[in-house]
Chains A and B, each alone.
Chain A
Amino acid sequence: KNEVEQSPQNLTAQEGEFITINCSYSVGISALHWLQQHPGGGIVSLFMLSSGKKKHGRLIATINIQEKHSSLHITASHPRDSAVYICAVHYNNDMRFGAGTRLTVKP
């Protein structure tokens, strides 16, 4: 069983919709990353958090350490948000990654 589980695997939304992507993990962590991977493959870091909530523009990430759960929200989604979103946890000296959520936002 993967230590990091994401849901949903695929998500299609209409432009303007509110998006939520979930991440659950089963190990003790020191921090959690949300990453974005665009078609063409490059991976960029969106957030790193170890408690509470962070906001950057239309993106909001929350984490509940007790429940071992994090969510990534996108408000007023746009076609340019179409990408794969990856949850990764800092575990020991390594990072463990979810399989990703493929988001498609249609105009």
Chain B
Amino acid sequence: NAGVTQTPKFQVLKTGQSMTLQCAQDMNHNSMYWYRQDPGMGLRLIYYSASEGTTDKGEVPNGYNVSRLNKREFSLRLESAAPSQTSVYFCASRIGVRSAEAFFGQGTRLTVV
């Protein structure tokens, strides 16, 4: 069972470059999420999609855009990377937005130099 698949696993970018992180789930979940994890802090929500066709900002959306391509896929785009975006990024999915177990991807370690 694949669950939540995130690509790439590692990436190094130069300041100002752009990239897209890909996420796909095969559990027929409605809700998908992008989080970033920084040392000493809990995961923080960047954007989420409660259902196909909708996206909403989370706690730290600045510098990011998202696309819910279909029910399976939710991508995160950095248009002009900054060193402050150096982090580990996690995609997650849940059946719905309320009280449902979350399933996480393996994470993407992004370094912006």
A103 vs B88: C-alpha distance in the bound complex, in angstroms? 20
CA distance A33 to B104 in the complex (A): 13
Shortest C-beta distance, B14 to chain A (Å), equals 23
Count class of interface residues, chain B:
20 to 34
A interface secondary structure, majority: strand
A2 → chain B, closest Cβ, in Å? 7
Verify if B40 is at the interface (C-beta below 8 Å from A): yes
The binding surface of chain B is classed by DSSP as loop
- Residues of B close to A31: CB separation below 8 A: 99
**Digit string of A1-14 for contact with B (CB within 8 Å is 1, else 0)?**
01010000000000
- A30 engages B106 (CB within 8 Å): no
Q: Report the bound CA distance from A44 to B107 in whole Å.
A: 12
**Distance A15 CA – B41 CA, assembled complex (angstroms):** 28
With the chains together, A100 CA to B90 CA distance in Å?
A: 15
Number of interface residues of A (CB under 8 A): 24
Contact A33 B106 (CB under 8 A): no
Q: Chain A's nearest CB lies how many Å from the CB of B78?
A: 19
Q: Which positions in B face A, CB cutoff 8 Å?
A: 33, 35, 40-45, 48, 50, 58, 88, 90, 97-99, 101-107, 109
